[in-house]
Amino acid sequence: MRFIIATVGWCVVGASAVFAQDATPATNWQGFYVGLAGGEALADIQLVDLNRQASRTDSNNEAVAGAFGGYNWQLGAFVVGAEIDWMRNLSSEPSDFMTARARAGWTFGQSMIYGTLGIGTEQGYLQHLGTGQRIDKTLTGIVVGGGLESMLSQNLSIRAEGLYFDPGKEQFDFAASPPYAAASATVDLSHVVWRAGLTYHFK
């Protein structure tokens, strides 16, 4: 009886050792990182002329490129972090888009799926077609999104993500300039950014 118990105990220990050797080490996402990204921004714009009570809806697509950086804290399979980024559209009239966001993700294998939430700012303007008067404003609003990131090596990863930005409605007031009377208009803007990025992790 003692021999049987000892044999069973030895088998269990041996099996544990085999499992420990076969286990795949968890991917390390902890630390600072920086990266470059590029993609496309799809914007929806509604313009309302408050004087004439007339409205117009427009949409456009623009290529964007920029950089980002942040820090990850890893808690087992969970990853939380903070990220800032800057993007510029590549149109004939470039404007900047910046965000500061929190990220939270779940890791599996060499990849991580994540969600993100924060605030964003974008430079925008409206121009009076009659007087040529131009009003520039910084639009601020909520940014929400998500993505998938995968490690290529210890220090490099690639990502694909989407962000939705909605600064809400903004009013522009133009001063009178004869023969044109004072005028006001509102702009309701929202857009989606689809982009891919390459990240370098400092480890």
Would you say residue 149 lies in a domain? yes
Q: What is the pLDDT of residues 34-65, one digit of tens each?
A: 999 999 999 888 878 877 777 888 888 899 99
φ, ψ at 28 (rounded to 5°):
-95, 115
Q: Is residue 100 part of a domain?
A: yes
Question: How far is it, in rounded angstroms, from Cα 95 to Cα 193?
Answer: 14
Does some domain include residue 192? Answer: yes
Residue 72 sits in which domain range? Answer: 29-201
Instruction: Quote the number of domains for the chain.
Output: 1
**Is it the case that residue 124 has pLDDT exceeding 90?**
no
DSSP string covering 138-188, please?
EEEEEEEEEEEEEESSSSEEEEEEEEEEEEEEEEEEEPPBTTBPPEEEEEE
The answer to whether position 19 is within a domain reads no
Confirm if 140 and 123 have CB atoms less than 8 A apart: no
**Each residue of 59-88: b (16+ CB within 10 Å) or e?**
eeebebebebebebebeeeebebebebebb
Residues 4-35: tens digit of each pLDDT: 333 333 333 344 444 444 445 579 999 999 99
Q: Is residue 113 part of a domain?
A: yes
- The partner residues of 150 in beta bridges, in order of sequence, read 111, 158
Answer yes or no: are the C-beta atoms of 193 and 64 closer than 8 Å: yes
In a domain, 43, yes or no: yes
Average pLDDT, the chain: 85
The pLDDT score that the predictor gives to residue 149 is 98
Residue 195 belongs to domain with CATH number: 2.40.160.20
In a domain, 3, yes or no: no
The answer to whether the predicted template modeling score (pTM) of the entire model surpasses 0.75 is: yes
Q: Residue 163's pLDDT is what?
A: 98
Q: If you average pLDDT over residues 173-187, what whole number do you get?
A: 84
> Rounded to whole angstroms, how far apart are CA atoms 188 and 58?
10
Could you tell me the pLDDT band of residue 92, with boundaries at 50, 70 and 90? low
Judge whether 14 lies within some domain. no
pLDDT digits (tens, 9 = 90+) for 159-179: 999 999 999 888 888 888 888
